[in-house]
Chains A and B, each alone.
Chain A
């Protein structure tokens, strides 16, 4: 049995989501190869070759793969699947964009956002915003799986897999990349951060998110938000944590002015420790919080920051 893992990268560096997907793949048994599809990917390939447990790294370098356009990725991955029994990718937006295309072309049912791998054909995945966990067994000859990376530890580094370039026959595409507007931040990436501090509608404005910044600086935390805060335009869309946004599972998640709707909980309730600040003592967020502070955030946040300072954090 052979499993193809598709790397998450930005053409310059390999992302941790890849290492986590390798861990999920390892639970299926069999040989693991990593596909790096992109443009100018030498460094990424070299990094992928170091992941423990990887047999080989395949690099496909092509203009259309710089932004991993859906149609181009479909062609590349489907073209490789003769040699594999399964293909796994992280469940980030890049891969969600084309993995269903791969599944359809292979005539298999995709298994999305798995949080557990029981065997080569059996997977656990959350459904209904994480209010139920389904264990499903695939009867398809090949498995197409996306992985909720927060549920798996990162594979270590120390391997020395072979790396080779592979050609791709990508013809004319019916779509093209136009532009990109990426949120700039010096903070850690939301889904990989050890600490996350998120604000909700209770923050009142984008300006007020400054109250979270000082704390995030002290804690080295990533910043997140509820859908309501994003919809209101307080913060960028890619900050949204939840069922239909990003899933996070940091050591510490701090929810401020967030009520705790099921859709929000779906994206953060697997955090190790949860703290919540909310002025409504009945807010549902307190039902998942290890530590709840019932307080007005405008008073509590400056105090919290000062106390962190005092505690030498």
Chain B
């Protein structure tokens, strides 16, 4: 079984996004960038499948600027076999990303694609579902656990009411939720080893995908700020304020 994991380079989750004064977007100059946390979980799952002998090859792919190579190297250092870098300086929308990923999945003959459930920068949460539809594959969204039995993949999904189990015919697509696993840290020897693993260089044009954006960003603004609150002395004061000042009890 070949496993493909798409990973995105995003603003590190510990960094607070700052809106640019001209309202054109978020300032990404001189800030820490990392692999999207949900994608780390996807990489970890793929590596575990390989360690268990279920996966025969694991491929990590990223679509993004030159620096997305670093993100691919992170995946390789965690244990993925090889990388594909589709280089573009444009911030592609999920539809375009999904179209490129479809071409990569087909070119690689992937049996399983594991994406993150959402990228924490744009918060679209749509690439995985779009890719599954373009491939006409079934999907297990927001996986809490997964296991392969025969030709089928059983996925326990996190849903609003609790957990739901579905069975998917392979090939299939899974998106990761936070509880699927705890990603490993790459060891120094593995980081060194990853430097020698191959990364294939591609462009969106290689796959014949039109990446023209469908959405025009008119402006990006700061959210409405909350007014500063007060500290109260004790529980009695808290109840008093909530009841008599805020009127919410």
Contact = CB atoms under 8 A, between A and B. Distances in A.
Interface of A: 67, 69-71, 74, 92-94, 96-105, 107-113, 122, 125-140, 173-183, 191, 195, 219, 227, 230-231, 236-238, 243-244, 246, 251-252, 262-263, 269, 272-275, 277, 281, 286-295, 300, 303-304, 306-308, 310-311, 313
A157 to B, nearest CB: 23
Contacts of B93: 109
Contacts of B202: none
Given A176-B167, A238-B158, A243-B120, A100 B126 contact: yes
Given A104-B133, A289-B229, A139 B162 contact: no
Contact of A93 (B94, B122, B138, B159): B159
B192 interface: no
Interface in B104-157: 117-118, 120-134, 137-142, 144, 154, 157
Interface string B4-29: 00000001010011110000001000
B246 interface: yes
B232 A132 contact: no
Nearest to A179: B165
A73 to B, nearest CB: 11
Nearest to B154: A178
Contact of B178 (A231, A294, A310): A231
Contacts of B120: 128-129, 243-244, 263
Nearest to B137: A174
B162 A181 contact: yes
Contacts of B166: 69, 175-178
B95 A103 contact: yes
Nearest to B163: A181
Contacts of B159: 93-94, 180, 238
Given A133-B223, A273-B246, A292-B229, 13 more contacts: A70-B132, A99-B126, A127-B220, A129-B123, A132-B220, A140-B214, A180-B161, A182-B162, A238-B161, A243-B123, A262-B16, A290-B229, A300-B235
B133 A128 contact: no
User: What DSSP secondary structure best describes chain A's contact surface?
Assistant: mixed
B133 A105 contact: yes
B220 A122 contact: no
User: What DSSP secondary structure best describes chain B's contact surface?
Assistant: mixed
Contacts of A67: 164
26 contacts: A70-B141, A94-B160, A100-B129, A100-B130, A100-B132, A104-B131, A109-B95, A122-B218, A127-B26, A128-B120, A131-B26, A134-B217, A136-B217, A137-B218, A178-B167, A230-B179, A238-B158, A244-B38, A246-B160, A262-B16, A273-B242, A274-B226, A286-B229, A286-B231, A294-B231, A300-B234
A112 B126 contact: yes
B158 A303 contact: no
A153 B217 CA distance: 26
Interface string B223-249: 100111111101111111111001011
A183 B235 contact: no
Contact of B129 (A97, A131, A179, A288): A97
Given A238-B160, A292-B232, A313-B239, A100 B128 contact: yes
Contacts of A307: 235-236, 238-239
A291 B139 contact: no
B133 A127 contact: no
B168 interface: yes
A197 to B, nearest CB: 12
Interface in B72-122: 93-95, 98, 117-118, 120-122
Interface string B29-64: 000000000100000000000000000000000000
Contacts of A244: 38, 117-118, 120, 177-178
A108 B178 contact: no
A100 B94 contact: yes
Nearest to B249: A313
A129 B10 CA distance: 12
Contacts of A288: 226, 229
B162 to A, nearest CB: 4
Given A104-B134, A230-B179, A133 B220 contact: yes
Most interface-central of B130, B228, B242 (chain A CB within 10 A) = B242
B22 to A, nearest CB: 13
Contacts of A281: 231
B232 A104 contact: no
A179 B139 CA distance: 16
